[in-house]
């Protein structure tokens, strides 16, 4: 059998955010790109990300992942990127020969493609933890549950236990509640929540308990029904379960959010040198500052070279796409350097702050090791981007709103106290009342004198962490407005239960306004009135779904 050899400038393996963005950047410069993905749909894991993304507002932060996925696919098609779906790369051979098993109209065939440049964007897969009965049906990855509810729109159970409180565990818990499930709790062996405080706050004010310093001992269940419960226990300082502290939870699904590991097998097959960096999820291929691996002309981008967020994957993809276009002679070196410099700066900014610094150091180590292994001279193409000194939060972390005057009228309150790379609120304010500046990990600071109380920042915050407080509502009552992304939206005039930041009942409250505008992108703003004495604490409502 003779398999025809197809020649392409570039083959991109994996059509997730990193692969799509590298294909787009290269195609913009006139590179002939073939994008290959084993799935029947492009977009990688973007289509299960129905939440608004964190990050820089110049790069689609505040937009839901699902919409970013659609935009990227449209753009790549418009630019003439060839996309082969349902096609598995089964081998990468010398001289950049890519062997692909293509499935078209139910028929399988082998294709050989010779590419000048290859971009490996194979992503990552979920890590597991094992415990007694962990293989029972009903124990699944948090990402699996997320795919079931957000892509297939099927809820795989009624009562969920989330194991792990990193961002994946927090976000998927929130989305399970949005899908109509009950999350009976989140557990983590660590003593603190691993992910962003704003994500944790969203589910805490829904009343979901966090069991920190806890581990899972076993899944209860049988061979006929799968999971019917879970036994958790407190852990001691050596992470060992404390006997006698066991607690049984009635659940039918146990979701594991124990992190992700890069899928670097294909890079390994191609001869790309790898190293083990636990902060990046495990074995990762080495790369230089332009994402080129130790094999000249083969790039590695996105989670395959270190598990991070979709926004860093998008930037790494762009970087590789531009560098490859430059090496193919499609873009002048000067122009390419300019573009790469600004992307490098942005991506570095995304790795600042307490949540990013380990990844930043790990990525620098990866690049250093690339130069040690290849023996190439490390010449910085452009000025290194120094971490800009972070502005200390001037705000106290007190949750009290005592500083707001009874006569003042509506004013925003930003309950975002961690240095996370995110700034859509800054741009949302047309009056310049919210300042983040550089770097993007600064904590937002509200200038109350400039705040008109318009509330437009509320739906823009991907962390749903901005509230609008109006103490002038009536002589003894104040109002609080908050974003409310659940199935049953209350109506003006409804009497509801006001709850605090842990979801505890405070008092009855009247819904005084519900605002649902197109530009809020499905994040309605609900305003309730409560007696003044509850205004420090009332941050959510409880209505039976």
Partner 1 sequence: MAGRIDRHPILGKRKAKEEVEIIFNGKKIKAEKGEMIAAALQAKGIRIHRYTIKNKEPRGVFCGIGQCTDCAMEVNGQPNVRTCVTPVEAGMVINTQYGLNRDGDNID
Q: Where on the chain is the footprint of partner 1 (CB under 8 A)? A: 38-40, 45, 50, 64, 125-126, 135-141, 143-150, 152-158, 178-180, 223-224, 226, 252, 485-487, 489, 522
Residue with Cβ nearer partner 1 (130 or 384): 130
Instruction: Kindly state the smallest distance separating residue 22's Cβ from partner 1, in Å.
Output: 21
Instruction: Kindly state the smallest distance separating residue 148's Cβ from partner 1, in Å.
Output: 6
Residue with Cβ nearer partner 1 (368 or 522): 522
Rounded to 5°, the CA angle 469-455-542 comes to 60
**Angle, nearest 10°, between helix axes 65-78 and 17-28?**
30
Using the structure block, give the residue that is written with the tokens 């305003």: 527
Residue with Cβ nearer partner 1 (125 or 502): 125
Instruction: Kindly state the smallest distance separating residue 98's Cβ from partner 1, in Å.
Output: 20
Report how far residue 535's alpha carbon sits from residue 538's, in angstroms, rounded to the nearest whole number.
5
Instruction: Kindly state the smallest distance separating residue 222's Cβ from partner 1, in Å.
Output: 9
What one-character DSSP code corresponds to residue 63?
Answer: S
Contacts of 535 (CB under 8 A, 6+ apart): 401, 469, 471, 478, 480
Residue with Cβ nearer partner 1 (63 or 401): 63
CA distances from 318 to 116, 129, 300 (A): 18, 34, 12
Instruction: Kindly state the smallest distance separating residue 354's Cβ from partner 1, in Å.
Output: 29
- The residues facing 525 across adjacent strands are 483, 515
Instruction: Kindly state the smallest distance separating residue 226's Cβ from partner 1, in Å.
Output: 6
Instruction: Kindly state the smallest distance separating residue 212's Cβ from partner 1, in Å.
Output: 26
Residue with Cβ nearer partner 1 (191 or 519): 519
Residue with Cβ nearer partner 1 (85 or 507): 85
Residue with Cβ nearer partner 1 (405 or 521): 521
Using the structure block, give the residue that is written with the tokens 């090791």: 369
Spell out the alpha helix ranges (H) of 399-530: 424-428
Report the candidate in 95, 232, 280, 206 with the shortest Cα–Cα distance to residue 484. 206
CB-based burial of residue 402 (10 Å sphere; 0-12 exposed, 13-18 middle, 19+ buried)? exposed
CA distances from 493 to 409, 458, 479, 496 (A): 21, 21, 13, 9
Residue 323 token pair: 């560098």
């Amino acid at each position: 059998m003779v398999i025809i050899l197809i020649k392409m400038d570039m083959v991109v393996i994996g059509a997730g955010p990193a692969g799509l963005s590298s294909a787009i950047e290269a195609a913009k410069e006139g590179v002939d790109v073939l994008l290959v993905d084993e799935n029947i749909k492009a977009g990688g894991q973007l289509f299960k990300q129905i939440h608004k993304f964190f990050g820089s507002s110049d790069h689609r932060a505040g937009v839901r992942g699902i919409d970013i996925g659609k935009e990227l696919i449209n753009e790549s098609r418009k630019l003439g990127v060839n996309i082969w779906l349902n096609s598995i790369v089964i081998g990468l051979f010398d001289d950049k020969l890519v062997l692909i098993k293509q499935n078209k109209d139910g028929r399988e065939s082998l294709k050989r493609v010779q590419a000048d440049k290859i971009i490996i964007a194979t992503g990552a897969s979920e890590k597991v933890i094992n415990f007694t009965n962990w293989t029972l049906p009903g124990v699944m990855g948090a990402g699996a549950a997320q795919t079931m509810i957000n892509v297939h729109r099927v809820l795989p159970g009624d009562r969920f236990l989330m194991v792990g409180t990193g961002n994946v565990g927090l976000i998927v818990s929130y989305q399970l509640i949005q899908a109509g499930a009950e999350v009976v709790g989140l557990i983590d062996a660590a003593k603190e929540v691993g992910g962003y405080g704003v994500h944790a706050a969203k589910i805490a004010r829904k009343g979901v308990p966090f069991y920190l310093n806890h581990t899972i001992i076993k899944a209860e269940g049988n061979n006929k029904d799968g999971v019917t419960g879970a036994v958790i226990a407190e852990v001691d300082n050596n992470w060992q379960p404390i006997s006698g502290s066991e607690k049984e939870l009635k659940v039918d699904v146990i979701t594991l959010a124990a992190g992700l590991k890069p899928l670097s097998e294909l890079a390994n097959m191609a001869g790309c040198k790898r190293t083990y960096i636990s902060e990046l999820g495990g074995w990762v291929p080495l790369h230089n500052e332009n994402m080129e691996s130790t094999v000249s002309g083969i790039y590695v981008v996105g989670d395959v070279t270190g598990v991070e967020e979709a926004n860093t994957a998008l930037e790494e993809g762009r970087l590789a796409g531009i560098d490859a276009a430059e090496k193919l002679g499609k873009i002048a070196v000067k122009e390419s350097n300019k573009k790469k410099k600004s992307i490098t700066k942005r991506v570095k900014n995304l790795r600042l702050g307490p949540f990013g610094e380990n990844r930043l150091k790990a990525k620098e180590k990866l690049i250093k090791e690339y130069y040690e292994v290849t023996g190439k001279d490390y010449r910085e193409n452009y000025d290194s981007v120094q971490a800009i000194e972070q502005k200390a939060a001037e705000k106290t972390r007190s949750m009290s709103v005592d500083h707001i005057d009874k006569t003042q009228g509506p004013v925003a309150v930003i309950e975002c106290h961690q240095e996370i790379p995110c700034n859509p609120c800054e741009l949302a304010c047309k009056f310049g009342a919210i300042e983040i500046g550089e770097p993007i990990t600064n904590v937002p600071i509200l200038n109350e004198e400039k705040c008109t109380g318009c509330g437009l920042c509320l739906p823009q915050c991907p962390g749903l962490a901005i509230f609008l407080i109006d103490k002038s509502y009536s002589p003894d009552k104040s109002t609080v407005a908050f974003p409310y992304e659940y199935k049953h939206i209350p109506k003006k005039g409804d009497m509801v239960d006001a709850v605090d930041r842990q979801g505890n009942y405070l008092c009855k409250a009247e819904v005084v306004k519900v605002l649902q505008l197109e530009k809020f992108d499905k994040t309605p703003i609900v305003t309730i009135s409560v007696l003044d004495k509850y205004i420090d604490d009332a941050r959510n409502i409880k209505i039976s779904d």
